[in-house]
Structure 1
Amino acid sequence: MRPTPQDVLSLARVPIGLCLAMAPPRGARSLALIAAGTVSDLLDGPCARARGEASDQGARLDSIADGVLVAGAAVAFARGVTMPRAGWAAVGTVVALRGVTLAVTRARFGMWSIAHTRLNKLSGGVLAVGATAALARGRAGVPLALAVAAPAVIASAEELVMVLAAERYDRDAAGLIREV
């Protein structure tokens, strides 16, 4: 089976994430890799929907690619950013909550996946901007760490509640907050 354009966009995040983990953590190369990964993530879903080719396989590829990119960014961040303990505690809280949510999703529904909720999309955007700013500066103060971590904690908690309450898994659920 030939990969679709949106699959190629998703899969591009795998080598981008690996390169990000191995590149010097600060500098133009890391910032360009984060930008490329972010653009890939922004375009793959809309491309699939516009072509009428959204699929479970594509959603799985998206989740895997997101995981590799975030892991690569986390390695670059840990290597290249100085941050106070309170900032690292905020990061640790997000990682722990995400890990619990992923484990519960795996246990209940037999898959590793992060839902595409509105809050997850928002927190991903905030993370991309915040991590890029911190990598560019080489440091992140507590206010920046909390500004990035707060939406991620809220999004992770929302998803955990959804996964615990759901009868079936819906990776495209909008979230608990409904539009008014």
Structure 2
Amino acid sequence: MKTYIFLIAILAANACNSTKGTKEVSEVNSEEKMEMIKDNCPEAGDCTLKVMKNKNMILKEDTTGMLYPVFEDGENMVVEFTYSEKGPEGTADGNYSETIHFEVPNSAESLKLANSSLQTVSLLYGKQCFCRGEAGFYKVKKGSFSLSKTGKQLNFEVNFKIDETSQKVTSIKRTVSL
């Protein structure tokens, strides 16, 4: 009996240690890749980057006229950058996040865009918070976007300003392994 209790204790201790070596990059499936970002992220929160291959981003409008993205199978690549902050302890709706989406053809090798041409890649900024009149998705109309793809590396840089709302993220520069 003591042997069984000893074995159960060892197995339980071993099970608790099994998650210590998790990776920073995880592949949800062969079409989707998620990466935690520590550098170039505002200190108050966490940043993630998600690459969705063979997807199209469709912008839809709800009954109040606000935009939101929908992702469908397609022949493009959608990139989603997310900055998020946890709300104060004990609040139900204190979390804050900003997302930046863009969509490029899988075959794109190089792009340089500015201002009104940013909608060529459907550049979209989203703010999710309890901040009346500011939360929602906005088409990015002011800024610059550059992208280059070499082999299995995707390099992009986005600088933007949203006039309709305040923002914490104004610039993103990343290299991603595809």
Same fold (TM over 0.5): no
Higher Cα radius of gyration? 2
The structure in which a higher percent of residues are strand is 2
TM-score, reference length from structure 1: 0.25
TM-score, reference length from structure 2: 0.25
The higher-RCO structure (CA 8 Å, 6+ apart) is: 1
